[in-house]
Amino acid sequence: MSLDARVRLSRGAIDVDVALRAEPGQVIGVLGPNGGGKTTTVLALAGVLAVAEGHVRVDGQLWDDGRRALPPERRTVGLMLADSLLFPHLSALDNVAYGPRSRGVDRHRARQRARDELDRVGLADRASSRARELSSGQQARVALARALATDPSLLLLDEPLAALDPDTRARTRSDLATRLAAYGGITVLVTHDPLDALTLADHLVFVEDGHVTQAGTPAEVLSEPRSPYVATVVGLNLYAGEGDSHGHVATGGGVVVMTTSPTEGRVWATIAPSAVSVHLHEPEGSPRNTWQLRVASVTVQGQSARVGLVGALPLTAEVTLESVTALGLQVGQHVWAAVKATEVRTYAR
């Protein structure tokens, strides 16, 4: 079982050209900004939209080649959305059994398969419950069981956890990871959440303005982001520049960043927010990169805060809450940011 797809079509103002390839058991995480083409790609895989050019081929079977398209009901696809879309008048068991029944399986076998799937997602004891009697996380697991009850070759998950609160999302993410590990087909997961992508997917594809801007394993993407959006997702400051053999990187606006790992020519330079120190006065000592910037935002995240800094070189710094209080950080305040040269990483563009 394999996926080989090149989705090319126009939808509204966006021209989509996205290639996806996967092997059995693989989870492909598709990320990108709103309106970038992620959902359009998923709908083309499902057969809701036809490709204008390209192809969709699953396990060697051609589903769409731009001229002939297999209708959605003849594709072995399971689909799960942010809204679980459970039938309110049916029990969890009958919601899950609906999939096999719609494909011609008799009632007894469909309900037995539904029991098996509910057991796999830990909801065997809620089989008789209706949707309103289930928590949002339980509803999401029922929707996943329903999507898998038809033995799909391709499982499409479009923001499956987006509607859940943070606590429920964490628990459901863990349940989803466990179930996907036992699924032998191919999963395409569309999400905005970096944690969902990094914990559930083993290959990431970033789609921006209808095109793939980066693809690779989570480790590859974390270490070398190649677009500002990707850098934001993985939590790094990213700059395009020109490097020389002395460790200088000239960025936009003529700002020079120093690094101890020289890369010549067109380069990306990354700085982890945790490597940025914030000061009220120009720092003395070892930092070779210092800039006077203005505080644009202060966002608390647990026991730390992310400080957005704007000026000659826009930066995001991650500091402790104690530092926020000690420095009296406020929006509009001018501060100094410092980064050691050893904390700047460069690689070829």
**Residues 73-115: tens digit of each pLDDT:** 899 999 988 888 999 999 999 999 998 998 889 999 999 999 9
Return the CATH architecture of domain 3-229. Answer: 3-Layer(aba) Sandwich (3.40)
pLDDT score of 326: 94
pTM of the model: 0.87
Contacts of 39 (CB under 8 A, 6+ apart): 158, 190
Instruction: Collect contacts of 8-11 with beta carbons under 8 A, ≥24 apart.
Output: 8/51, 8/52, 8/53, 8/54, 8/66, 9/40, 9/44, 9/49, 9/50, 9/51, 9/52, 9/53, 10/52, 11/37, 11/40, 11/49
Separation between Cα atoms, residue 151 and residue 76, nearest integer Å = 7
Read off the tokens for 255: 């700002």
pLDDT score of 3: 96
pLDDT score of 241: 94
Angle at 236 between CA 250 and CA 284, to 5 degrees: 60
Query: What strands lie across the sheet with 154-158, from one edge to the other?
Result: 61-64, 53-58, 3-11, 14-22, 211-216, 203-208, 27-31, 186-190, 154-158, 77-81
**Residues 126-139: tens digit of each pLDDT:** 999 999 999 999 99
Separation between Cα atoms, residue 140 and residue 142, nearest integer Å = 5
- For the domain spanning 235-348, the CATH number is 2.40.50.100
DSSP state of 206: E
DSSP state of 130: B
| Residue ranges per structural domain of the chain | 3-229, 235-348
Backbone angles phi, psi at 300, to 5 degrees: -80, 130
Residues 196/168, Cβ–Cβ less than 8 Å:
no
How buried is residue 124: exposed, middle or buried, by Cβ count under 10 Å (0-12/13-18/19+)? middle
Separation between Cα atoms, residue 216 and residue 93, nearest integer Å = 38
DSSP state of 51: -
Residues of the chain with pLDDT under 50: none
pLDDT score of 285: 75
pLDDT score of 252: 81
Read off the tokens for 48: 């809701």
